[in-house]
């Protein structure tokens, strides 16, 4: 039951009315903020909390956060997808893939502002409610603020840090806080959320974060801190301890089949934290299926799967053929669960009869609802599939990784095997290594935007080397640049830089 999706449309107006004319970090100034008169009842505070979640969805635009961030700015920059041919659509997507992105990118600016919209609204809720009141909603706001900062710091590096409403002039003057300062705040927020939420919420509350999600994100944060660029020597053990405390609860939410993770019937059953979507033209649908690949503007490239007016928005992105061959040879069930390697189109013969044309093209389709009779899906960005930000395998494989790094590979084996066996692969014959972790994470999360961030935290040299090798194989003729250290961060949006004299742009931009 997608309560958030259905409620989001109703409360989005409320969330918007809490904003004044803002710029820069999009943090409402206290002097002009009418929010203090709003947080006067549980109904209003609940509406405000749901409004924070809404920022991860369409947010009144054509695209949602998972499309912009996890697909275009993350998966699109990793060693999963390549450009088979360029189109005139979505130049930002093309520039991201070719490592040509600039601070003027609309996609990068949107990602940055979305996260600060979340921070601003979480700050409002926490500022205008009292400790001891509405604790569940305060905990949700703390989680979402921590989540926003966690994505900002790993994608942009040091950014402005604020935990209360702030005047616009003061927001402009904020320095870029250190990565260590930001992580300290993230950890504090997640510990608070963990202490004040139920483990999970179900039935009418499905889709809202619980303590299990807060602890899972805290573990992910520690794993990120343990890697590049922080290289915190104490963080891995902290992640291991967090994961040990929740692994039983996570395994209780483990899907017995990989394909079962990506069906409408099972949504919110196995995820710990996901962006909620729903169809039927209320502005709550997912835009991700529109970026699977490119096509002509007339007619659908997927007549066996999608409604007749479905259209594509993206470049001609395809899945690494070497990866597809490896998965097929190993009979990996995640191949069919994530990717289609061919589809049918139809053309008229000279006599007017339909002839079937098989298009051989490996594309990620795990979020495309293959149901051309679905009358609720009305547009290319009206798809109902939720997008998982944290799910069962995230915790299981990160826990195994933490154990291996703490010289406990024998304890990690059961968890790596759990993922492999679900994928139809045999259990390992020896204790797992980091190479096993890296392989399983790459295959498990195809299309979900994890790979790029994994490569970065595993080290500067590994990230740049892996991305460069992939670029040479596929993109040497596409006039792009070879990836470099600068590409391990996104640029600070130029709109932000124009208003600040105390910020330096990220390296290389």
**What pLDDT is stored for residue 309 in this prediction?**
83
Helices 321-329, 434-444: inter-axial angle, 10-degree rounding: 100
Tens digits of residue pLDDT in 387-422: 999 999 999 999 999 999 999 999 999 999 999 999
Q: Is the pLDDT of residue 239 over 70?
A: yes
**What pLDDT is stored for residue 200 in this prediction?**
96
Cis peptide before 229 (omega within 30 of 0): yes
**Is 303 in contact with 311 (CB distance < 8 Å)?**
no
Report the SS3 class of residue 421.
Answer: helix
- The whole-angstrom separation of Cα 90 and Cα 218 is 34
**Is 201 in contact with 208 (CB distance < 8 Å)?**
yes
**What pLDDT is stored for residue 46 in this prediction?**
96
The fraction of the chain above a pLDDT of 90, given in percent, is: 79
**What pLDDT is stored for residue 24 in this prediction?**
38
More confident residue, 368 or 20: 368
Place of tokens 């589809």: 343
Tell me whether residue 500 is exposed, middle or buried, using C-beta atoms within 10 angstroms of its C-beta: 0 to 12, 13 to 18, 19 or more: middle
User: Residue 277 contacts by C-beta under 8 Å, 6 or more apart in sequence?
Assistant: 2, 5, 57, 64, 284, 285, 286, 383, 384, 385, 386, 387
| Two tokens, residue 206 | 């499905």
The fraction of the chain above a pLDDT of 70, given in percent, is: 92
Tell me whether residue 204 is exposed, middle or buried, using C-beta atoms within 10 angstroms of its C-beta: 0 to 12, 13 to 18, 19 or more: exposed
- The whole-angstrom separation of Cα 456 and Cα 433 is 19
Instruction: Write down the number of H helices and E strands in the chain.
Output: 18, 6
Lowest mean pLDDT among 113-117, 233-237, 469-473: 469-473
- The whole-angstrom separation of Cα 38 and Cα 427 is 55
**Is 37 in contact with 129 (CB distance < 8 Å)?**
no
pLDDT band at 351 (very low <50, low <70, confident <90, very high): confident
**What pLDDT is stored for residue 247 in this prediction?**
98
Q: What is the DSSP string of 472-502?
A: HHH-TTTT-----GGGGSPPPPHHHHTT-SS
pLDDT band at 480 (very low <50, low <70, confident <90, very high): confident
Tens digits of residue pLDDT in 177-210: 999 999 999 999 999 999 999 999 999 999 999 9
356 DSSP β-pair partners: 346
pLDDT band at 5 (very low <50, low <70, confident <90, very high): very low
**What pLDDT is stored for residue 296 in this prediction?**
63
Mean pLDDT of the chain: 91
**What pLDDT is stored for residue 131 in this prediction?**
94
Q: Is the pLDDT of residue 32 over 50?
A: no
| Two tokens, residue 400 | 């195994």
Report the SS3 class of residue 37.
Answer: helix
pLDDT band at 154 (very low <50, low <70, confident <90, very high): very high
pLDDT band at 11 (very low <50, low <70, confident <90, very high): very low
**What pLDDT is stored for residue 19 in this prediction?**
39
Q: Is the pLDDT of residue 481 over 60?
A: yes
pLDDT band at 89 (very low <50, low <70, confident <90, very high): confident
**What pLDDT is stored for residue 376 in this prediction?**
92
**What pLDDT is stored for residue 298 in this prediction?**
64
Other CB atoms within a 10 A radius of the CB of residue 435 amount to 8
Lowest mean pLDDT among 15-19, 313-317, 488-492: 15-19
Q: What is the DSSP string of 268-320?
A: TTSEEEEE----SSSS-SB-GGGGSS---SSS-S-TTTS-TT----S-EEEE-
């Amino acid at each position: 039951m997608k309560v958030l999706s259905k409620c989001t449309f109703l409360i989005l107006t409320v969330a918007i009315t809490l904003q004044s004319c803002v710029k820069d970090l999009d943090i409402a100034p206290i002097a002009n903020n009418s929010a203090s008169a709003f947080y006067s009842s549980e109904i209003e505070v609940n509406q405000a909390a749901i409004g924070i979640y809404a920022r991860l969805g369409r947010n009144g635009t054509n695209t949602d956060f998972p499309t912009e961030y996890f697909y275009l700015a993350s998966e699109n920059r990793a060693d999963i997808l390549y450009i088979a041919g360029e189109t005139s659509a979505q130049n930002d997507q093309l520039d991201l893939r070719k490592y040509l992105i600039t601070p003027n990118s609309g996609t990068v600016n949107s990602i940055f502002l979305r996260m600060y919209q979340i921070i601003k609204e979480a700050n409002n809720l926490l500022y205008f409610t009292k400790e001891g009141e509405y604790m569940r909603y305060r905990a949700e706001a703390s989680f979402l603020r921590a989540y926003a900062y966690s994505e900002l710091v790993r994608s942009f590096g040091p950014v402005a840090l604020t935990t209360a409403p702030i005047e616009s002039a003061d927001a402009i003057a904020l320095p870029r806080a250190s990565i260590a300062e930001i992580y300290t705040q993230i950890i504090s927020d997640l510990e608070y959320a963990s202490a004040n939420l139920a483990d999970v919420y179900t039935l009418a509350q499905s889709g809202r974060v619980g303590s299990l999600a807060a602890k899972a994100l805290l573990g992910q944060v520690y794993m990120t801190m343990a890697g590049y660029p922080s290289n915190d020597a104490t963080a891995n053990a902290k992640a291991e301890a967090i994961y040990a405390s929740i692994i039983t609860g996570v395994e209780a939410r483990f899907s017995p089949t990989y394909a079962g993770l990506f069906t409408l019937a099972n949504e919110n059953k196995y995820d710990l934290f996901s962006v909620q979507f729903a169809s039927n033209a209320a502005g709550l649908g997912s835009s991700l299926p529109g970026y699977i690949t490119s096509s002509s503007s007339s007619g659908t490239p997927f007549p066996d799967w999608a409604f007749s007016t479905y259209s594509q928005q993206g470049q001609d992105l395809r899945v690494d053929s070497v990866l597809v061959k490896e998965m097929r040879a190993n009979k990996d069930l995640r191949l069919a669960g994530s990717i289609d390697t061919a589809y049918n189109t139809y053309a008229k013969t000279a006599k007017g009869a339909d002839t079937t044309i098989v298009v051989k093209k490996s594309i990620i389709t795990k979020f495309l609802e293959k149901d051309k009779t679905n009358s609720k899906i009305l547009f290319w960005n009206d798809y109902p599939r939720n997008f998982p930000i944290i799910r069962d395998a995230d915790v299981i494989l990160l826990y195994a990784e933490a154990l291996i790094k703490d010289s406990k590979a024998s304890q990690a084996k059961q968890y790596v095997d759990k993922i492999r066996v679900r994928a139809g692969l045999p259990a390992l014959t020896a204790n797992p290594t980091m190479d096993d972790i890296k392989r399983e994470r790459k295959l498990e999360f195809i299309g979900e935007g994890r790979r790029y961030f994994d490569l970065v935290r595993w080290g500067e040299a590994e990230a740049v080397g892996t991305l460069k090798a992939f670029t040479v194989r596929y993109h040497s003729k596409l006039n792009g640049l070879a990836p470099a250290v600068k590409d391990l961060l996104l640029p600070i949006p130029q709109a932000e830089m124009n208003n600040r004299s105390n910020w330096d742009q990220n390296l290389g931009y």
